[in-house]
Structure 1
Amino acid sequence: MKVIAGEVYHIYNRGNQKQQLFFDDRNYGYFLEKMVEYLVPVTDILAWTLMPNHFHFLVQASKLSAALIYDRQLPISNLSEALRLMQCTYTKGFNAQYEKSGNLFHQKFKSKIMDDNKQENARNVLHYIHWNAEKAGLVTRPDDWAYSSYHEYLHPEITGFCNKELAMQILDLTRQEILLGGSIV
């Protein structure tokens, strides 16, 4: 993944052969721990959701995100390495817990840069991320899904993982517009 500082990316992946990634609160919590350990230090998260068999992030890359690590066969960005480590360490823990082996995630993660119509595309992705569980029929309202940044915007006193101020600035949206946006997707 080529990472450009200042650009916004939609990053996602799913379980290998669409298998389930998260079975209970411990699984979701463990993945969030890995997210805090690897992803949060290198990028600004604007929105996220964890679904039973996939995840989504909307991030803005920083200079640190785009910086290359050269001590390998091919250089890799800090953001790509963080995502690789997050998935790899989650897989190791998951496989140990469930006495499994092999790949848990579908190859490597996917990423899409929000280059054309950046603001509009990023807005649509943010709303898609927040309303994903409701559209999938897992809940009747997005605030019923515990594993999403929707709660961070719903309750501004929650620190959470997102840089909410940056998201509102980049997307030119108020907190209320972020919360109600699912109806326009």
Structure 2
Amino acid sequence: MSIRRQPLITGQMYHIYNCGVDKRDIFADKNDIYRFIESIKEFNREDKINSLANLRKSKQNPQIEVSPLSGMDSKEPLVEIIGYCLNPNHFHLILKQSVDSGISKFMQKLLGGYTYYFNSKNTRSGSLFQGLFKSQLIVNENYFNKLIGYVNKNYLVHSIPENKNDLVFSGDFEYENSKFNIISKKEGENILEVFG
């Protein structure tokens, strides 16, 4: 695993992005999108959950014990999610690091878990993503104000073929409806206050 030259700073926001190796699609159908979204939600914790399948079972039947490290009692998320866009061959996230090494831990779980799922589903092996995720520190308010629109509306920047429009998922819809599911409710409401 590659080591990051510049450590990510707790309390700071970052633009995080990556694409499929050779710019290949990382989402082939809606199930892939749903699995990635579920991973975003469930891997945003310090504790291990072992597998999403076991976690799903434990939520459906509380008598099933997954593991003492299931993460269901985790008090603090690794990151606050402020914006996102999932496109067929790449993704963008705006993350605020909540705990030391939070972004790195979250991304390792997210990309490792999703790659395992995708490779198993498609009988393939090897890397799915183009190396270590990219990160850009959000250095000031002006940059953030431009970036939040760029990330949440990133699907409009690209010429996504009509037959792949259902492979796009964005925080744009959460902000438009003021209903936060993936985006941190506290962070989302703060942004709506600023942008009205």
The equivalent of 2:37 in structure 1 is 32
- C-alpha distance after superposition, 1:70-97 (max 9, x if no partner): xxxxxxx132011011101101110111
1: CA distance between counterparts of 2:119 and 2:16? 23
Q: Which residue of 2 aligns with 1:88?
A: 112
Q: Give the number of equivalent residue pairs.
A: 157
Are the aligned partners of 2:12 and 2:96 in contact in 1 as well (CA < 8 Å)? yes
Residue 36 (structure 1) shift: 0.8
The structure 2 residue matched to 1:124, chosen from 129, 133, 146, is 146
What is the TM-score of this pair, normalised by structure 2? 0.72
Q: TM-score, normalised by structure 1?
A: 0.76
- Percent of aligned pairs with the same amino acid: 29
Cα separation, 1, equivalents of 2:189 and 2:174: 13
Tell me, yes or no, if the aligned pair for 1:133 and 1:139 is still in contact at 8 Å. no
Q: Distance in 1 between matches of 2:167 and 2:150?
A: 14
RMSD over aligned CA atoms reads 2.3
Larger % of helix: which? 1
Structure-1 residue corresponding to 2:173: 151
Q: Unaligned regions of 5+ residues in structure 2, if any?
A: 46-76
| Off by >6 Å, runs of 4+ in structure 1 | none
Q: 1:85 to 1:8 in 2, by over 3 A?
A: same
When structure 1 is superposed on structure 2, of 30-39 and 7-16 the one drifting more is 30-39
Distance 2:16 2:28 in 1: 22
SS at match of 1:39: coil
Aligned-partner residue type, residue 181 of structure 2 = G
Q: CA shift at 1:146, angstroms?
A: 5.1
